């Protein structure tokens, strides 16, 4: 006869489970791997973006036809929020893995007062703020009727504190309907109490709407989300005023977007179009740039070349042609303009003996004569060879099935073998329903002049078959530029950008530490080294590897003000099941740390699942 208290049995089993589970939770397995390459880190992929969109040209009768598009592309399914708090705008959408989602915004929401031509001033909380739970890439397009251009947005962690403006001249002397078509600088603070100093460059006839003259500086203090807009103004109506060459410095990271309301490129060549670009911080500038010709054009594009340091010599295809005397400033001293004067367009190499920036401008179609090709001017910041990457993902400026441009192209620039043949490791991917179809690149259109290291690079221009998402990968460094045309407007932007801090001699990977509590709550830190701030690159955007992680929730990461360290946390969603969490931390010099945390739950089972204890004796005392 068995005498068993059934209530006591239940308590014993419950206590046994809790002790086993608690012990295993506190001993979750972990691993750290250093120097694991990934496609994120110091690139245009991130989770936190601030930017503005300077005024486009609003023509009569365009009501309802003007729009600002924010196209968000992601490697993993994630939630994306766009907010412009000063306008009360707040929208959240989900984007699927290897797909894009599009936010269409009325331009009035990102407006700058009634005087759109000369809107100098500070606009409180008028910046666009885009956040995502996992890293995304963002392309922005201002598309008005007959006037458009776009840019690739940069996340907060790769923004800088030193910029030089690249814009273009006011062409209003060629158009009797307009008294001013200015160039712009739009400055966005990412933190409160940001001190920003603007020093005017341009040309000898340039001033600003608030009467700043060449070489003069003005300082303002901005709070997070504030937009400071500066506009060029000419001393006379024939002066072709321009903000190009103006220098912007700050004590905290800022975003800078340049534009021209409607530019002729070059100034005496019609027809005009809106141009815009997100400026690259000077820490990311390199020494060698590959300038490709534009599909369908009879002449090479124009470039403007800028120097980070005084007395920088500039070469084209290895031949020295110019010396830039100063870092920023007026035309001819702080920058210069170049167009290859040849009978047919040419792809060429621009290099400097010190860090430089090269910006490409697609020219107006009048110089091509009849029949006029489609399209109009656009502006693109070019990537130096030192900032090429191994994988890019981009979207056309319209999601699949949307209203986009009838012609879309990509200029793909890649390294070839010593014998000038194509390596077997460069591929182009077309994404459909989240799946990528890869094809190897087997040809090129142009071979660039050999660079100073004896390497050859080539360019292939490909017409994209439709709107949508595309990918590029290569074991060697690669870059690409996306552009497109309709009958009377155009766009252009980098397919992707790398922003390694070329100023820093940081070779040490970030250090990650974490603890796991007995209830499955994980808290951690990540810190970049060395201690020396002059050498330390600081943290770049992380990559949470969602496809390799499971059974986690409540992920959160918070960075300090200098992005040197961050606190992070998550929770095991169901402690009765196995869990895995994989995240890659990287600094802005591409030193990697991969963290793998594995939790193996205790599985409790009773065999047989039914037990016959026989007759139970009830004892009454």
Q: Does residue 253 register a pLDDT over 90?
A: yes
Q: What is the pLDDT of residues 344-368, one digit of tens each?
A: 899 999 999 999 999 999 999 999 9
State mean pLDDT over 159-164: 97
Q: What is the pLDDT of residues 548-590, one digit of tens each?
A: 899 999 999 988 878 899 999 999 999 889 999 999 898 888 8
State mean pLDDT over 289-299: 95
Note the pLDDT of residue 607: 65
Q: Other C-beta atoms within 10 Å of 614: how many? A: 8
State mean pLDDT over 148-164: 96
| Ranges 52-66, 197-211, 606-620, most confident | 197-211
Which of the four CATH numbers 2.60.40, 1.20.120, 3.15.10, 1.20.1740 does domain 14-40+504-599 have?
2.60.40
Residues 245 and 327: beta-carbon distance below 8 Å: no
State mean pLDDT over 91-117: 85
Q: Quickly state the pLDDT bin for 24 (edges 50, 70, 90).
A: very low
Q: Other C-beta atoms within 10 Å of 483: how many? A: 25
CA distances from 517 to 21, 527, 599 (A): 11, 21, 12
Q: Other C-beta atoms within 10 Å of 579: how many? A: 24
CA distances from 556 to 81, 492, 522, 523 (A): 16, 35, 11, 10
Closest CA to 142 of 239, 68, 220: 68
β-pair partners for 464: none
Helices (H) and strands (E) in the chain, counts: 1, 39
Joined together, the tokens standing for residue 256 give: 């800078």
Q: Show me where the domains of the chain are located.
A: 14-40+504-599, 46-385+402-494
State mean pLDDT over 20-46: 54
| Ranges of H-type helices in 347-458 | none
Q: Scanning the structure block, which residue is given the tokens 């693109």?
A: 380
Note the pLDDT of residue 400: 60
Q: Does residue 116 register a pLDDT over 80?
A: no
- Within 8 A by CB and 6+ apart from 453, the residues are none
Residue bearing the bigger pLDDT, 16 or 195? 195
Task: Report the distance separating Cα 108 and Cα 164, nearest Å.
Answer: 28
Joined together, the tokens standing for residue 454 give: 């004896």
Q: What is the pLDDT of residues 375-413, one digit of tens each?
A: 999 999 999 999 999 999 999 998 765 668 999 999 999
Task: Report the distance separating Cα 333 and Cα 336, nearest Å.
Answer: 7
Note the pLDDT of residue 31: 57
- Kind and range of the H or E run holding 187: strand 183-189
Average pLDDT along the chain = 88
Is residue 454 reached through a cis peptide bond, with omega within 30 degrees of 0 on the bond before it?
no
- DSSP letter (8 states) at residue 329: -
State mean pLDDT over 531-558: 87
Joined together, the tokens standing for residue 225 give: 């989300």
| Ranges of H-type helices in 27-63 | none
Q: How far is CA 223 from the centre of its chain?
A: 22
Q: Does residue 113 register a pLDDT over 70?
A: no
Task: Report the distance separating Cα 527 and Cα 538, nearest Å.
Answer: 8
């Amino acid at each position: 006869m068995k005498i068993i208290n059934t209530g006591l049995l239940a308590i014993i089993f419950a206590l046994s489970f809790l002790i086993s589970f608690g012990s295993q939770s506190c001993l979750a397995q972990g691993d750290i791997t250093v120097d694991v390459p990934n496609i994120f880190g110091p690139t245009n992929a991130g989770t936190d973006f601030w930017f503005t969109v300077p005024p486009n040209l609003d023509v009569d009768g365009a009501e309802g036809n003007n729009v600002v598009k924010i196209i968000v592309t992601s490697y993993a399914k994630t939630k994306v929020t766009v907010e412009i708090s000063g306008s009360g705008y707040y929208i959240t959408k989900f984007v699927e893995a290897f797909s894009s989602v599009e936010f269409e915004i009325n331009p009035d929401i990102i407006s700058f007062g009634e005087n759109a031509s000369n809107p100098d001033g500070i606009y409180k909380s008028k910046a666009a703020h885009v956040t995502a739970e996992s890293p995304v890439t963002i392309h922005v397009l201002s598309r008005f009727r007959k006037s458009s251009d776009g840019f690739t947005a940069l996340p907060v962690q790769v923004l800088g504190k030193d910029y030089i403006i690249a814009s273009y001249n006011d062409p209003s002397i060629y158009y009797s309907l307009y008294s001013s078509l200015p160039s712009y600088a739009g400055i966005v603070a990412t933190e409160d109490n940001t001190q920003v100093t603007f020093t005017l460059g341009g040309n000898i006839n340039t001033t600003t709407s608030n009467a700043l003259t060449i070489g003069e500086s003005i300082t303002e203090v901005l709070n997070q989300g504030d937009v400071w807009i500066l506009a060029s103004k000419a001393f006379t109506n024939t002066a072709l005023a321009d903000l190009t060459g103006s220098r912007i410095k700050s004590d905290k990271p800022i975003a800078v977007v340049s534009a021209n309301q409607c530019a002729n490129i070059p100034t005496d060549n019609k027809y005009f179009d809106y141009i815009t670009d997100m400026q690259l911080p000077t820490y990311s500038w390199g020494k060698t740039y590959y300038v490709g010709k534009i599909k369908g054009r009879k002449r090479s594009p124009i470039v403007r070349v800028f120097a980070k340091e005084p007395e920088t010599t500039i070469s084209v295809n290895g031949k020295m042609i110019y010396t830039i005397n100063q870092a920023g400033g007026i035309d001819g001293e702080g920058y210069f303009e170049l167009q290859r004067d040849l009978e047919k367009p040419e792809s060429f190499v621009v290099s400097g003996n010190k860090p430089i920036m090269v910006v490409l401008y697609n020219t107006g179609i009048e110089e091509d004569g009849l029949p006029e090709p489609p399209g109009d001017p656009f502006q693109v910041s070019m990537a130096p060879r030192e900032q090429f990457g191994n994988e890019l993902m981009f979207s056309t400026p319209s999601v699949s099935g949307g209203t986009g441009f009838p012609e879309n192209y990509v200029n793909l620039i890649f390294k070839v073998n010593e014998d000038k043949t194509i390596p077997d490791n460069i591929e182009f991917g077309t994404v459909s329903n989240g799946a990528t179809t890869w094809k190897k690149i087997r040809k090129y259109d142009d071979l660039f002049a050999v660079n100073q290291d004896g390497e050859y690079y080539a360019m292939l221009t490909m017409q994209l078959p439709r709107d949508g998402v595309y990918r590029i990968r290569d074991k060697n460094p690669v870059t690409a530029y996306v552009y497109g045309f309709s009958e009377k407007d155009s766009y252009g932007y980098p397919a992707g950008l790398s922003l390694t801090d070329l100023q820093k001699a940081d070779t040490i990977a970030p250090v990650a530490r974490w603890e796991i509590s007995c209830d499955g709550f994980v808290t951690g830190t990540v810190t970049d080294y060395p201690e020396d701030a002059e050498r330390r690159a600081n943290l770049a955007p992380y990559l949470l590897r969602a496809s390799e992680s499971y059974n986690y929730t409540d992920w959160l990461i918070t960075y300090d003000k200098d992005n040197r360290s961050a606190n992070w946390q998550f929770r095991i969603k169901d402690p009765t099941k196995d869990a895995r969490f994989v995240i890659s931390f990287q600094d802005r010099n591409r030193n990697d740390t991969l963290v793998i945390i594995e939790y193996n739950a205790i599985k409790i089972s009773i065999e047989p699942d039914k037990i016959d204890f026989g007759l139970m004796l009830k004892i009454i005392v």
